[in-house]
Amino acid sequence: MVDIYKAVKNKILALSLALLVLIPCAHADSESTSNSVILPSSLTFSTSTHAAVVHYYQPLVKIAYARLGIPVEFLQLNEERSIRLLDAGKIDGDTIRTQNIHKSESKFVPVYMLGDAKVYLVCQTGIKCSTDLLQNPNYSLGSVGGSSHFDESLKSARINHLRYTDYDLLRRSFRQGKVDVYIEVMSSHYHNMHFPKQANTAYLETIRGFHFLHEKYAHLAPQVAQEFQKLQAEIHTPDNQCWLKLADYQKTLSNQLELASKPHKKRNTH
């Protein structure tokens, strides 16, 4: 009887020791899982109609997130609506905007500075182009509406300010003589844009564009920033044709996604 009692006691002791060994391991595994970054199934970003955004920054964002395994969609929205939807959590981020849109109470965070751009006044032939024009109410100035950065810059201007919904419409109005002056933004990463022939120009300032994410995805920021940095290092060349290389990357990505979406044919085993 005593031998049976000792045997049972030894088994209980052995099981207790085993549990003591296993519990820390289980705890460590649960910490590892909680610290891992959970990736969303997809993300939706607001974007603009500017050529540099369409042909350079959108592909850049799409490819960087694809490398993380996250498909993205784009919605063309003006800045005002983009900020409103982003603060409300109705969209997940913005492709690229100036940093001044971020306030202390904002529900989104800047992730990475994607690039800068030079801002110019473009004036009709015969008009002396300078910042003095901004104080002349006899002239008209066109810009794409909803840009808080330009609204702040032009706060004290006396020129007749006309806001347009997109850049193509703005440039068409200038060519048709409907506006005397307009604001043009020339990206440092996209060089397939040109000033209108025989137009006069005046440099205003250099602005920087940031990619933004809603705060619920702030944990992705370090990985996303790293992908942007790596991708830009890959594509930037001395001839500044980086958007062409991005187009090739995007074509490859589209082909891969198309192949992945096709049903696999069953192999004939006979």
d(CA 109, CA 211): 9
Residue 144 lies in a domain: yes
Average pLDDT (199-213) is: 95
Say if residue 64 is in the same domain as residue 146.
no
d(CA 12, CA 35): 35
- Which residues make Cβ contacts (< 8 Å) with residue 147, sequence separation at least 6? 79, 98
Say if residue 105 is in the same domain as residue 233.
yes
Please tell me the predicted confidence (pLDDT) of residue 150: 78
Give 215's pLDDT tier (boundaries 50, 70, 90). Answer: very high
Give 253's pLDDT tier (boundaries 50, 70, 90). Answer: low
Residue 134 lies in a domain: yes
Please tell me the predicted confidence (pLDDT) of residue 257: 55
What confidence tens digit (pLDDT) does each residue in 127-148 have? 999 999 999 999 999 998 666 7
Report how many domains make up the chain: 2
Say if residue 83 is in the same domain as residue 108.
yes
- Write down the mean pLDDT value for the chain: 81
Say if residue 148 is in the same domain as residue 75.
no
Residue 237 lies in a domain: yes
Say if residue 110 is in the same domain as residue 151.
no
Average pLDDT (81-100) is: 94
Average pLDDT (92-106) is: 91
**Model confidence pTM above 0.85:** no
- Residue 75 sits in a domain whose CATH number is 3.40.190.10
Say if residue 236 is in the same domain as residue 171.
no
Average pLDDT (249-258) is: 64
Please report, rounded to a whole number, the percentage of residues in the chain having pLDDT higher than 70.
75
Average pLDDT (3-25) is: 40
Please tell me the predicted confidence (pLDDT) of residue 101: 86
Say if residue 145 is in the same domain as residue 214.
no
Say if residue 203 is in the same domain as residue 215.
no
27-31, 114-118, 207-211, 238-242: least confident range:
27-31
What confidence tens digit (pLDDT) does each residue in 44-90 have? 999 998 999 999 999 999 999 999 999 999 999 988 899 999 999 99
What confidence tens digit (pLDDT) does each residue in 155-186 have? 889 999 998 988 899 999 999 999 999 999 99
What confidence tens digit (pLDDT) does each residue in 17-46 have? 333 333 333 333 333 333 467 889 999 999
Q: Which domain holds residue 182?
A: 118-208
Ranges 10-14, 60-64, 150-154, 263-267, most confident: 60-64
Give 255's pLDDT tier (boundaries 50, 70, 90). Answer: low
Residue 75 lies in a domain: yes
Residue 24 lies in a domain: no
Residue 35 lies in a domain: no
Please tell me the predicted confidence (pLDDT) of residue 136: 96
Average pLDDT (188-199) is: 84
Say if residue 76 is in the same domain as residue 185.
no
Say if residue 128 is in the same domain as residue 157.
yes
As beta bridge partners, residue 112 has 211
Give 239's pLDDT tier (boundaries 50, 70, 90). Answer: low
Say if residue 204 is in the same domain as residue 125.
yes
Residue 213 lies in a domain: yes
Per the structure block, which two tokens stand in for 29?
């595994």
Three-class HEC string of the chain: CHHHHHHHHHHHHHHHHHHHHHHHHHHHHHHHHHHCCCCCCCEEEEECCCHHHHHHHHHHHHHHHHHCCCCEEEEECCHHHHHHHHHCCCCCEEEEEEHHHCCCCCCEEEEEEEEEEEEEEEECCCCCCCHHHHHCCCCEEEEECCCHHHHHHCCCCCCEEEEECCHHHHHHHHHCCCCCEEEEEEECCCCCCCCCCCCEEEEEEEEEEEEEEEHHHHHHHHHHHHHHHHHHHHHCCCCCCHHHHHHHHHHHHHHHHHHHHCCCCCCCCC
Residue 34 lies in a domain: no
Say if residue 137 is in the same domain as residue 95.
no
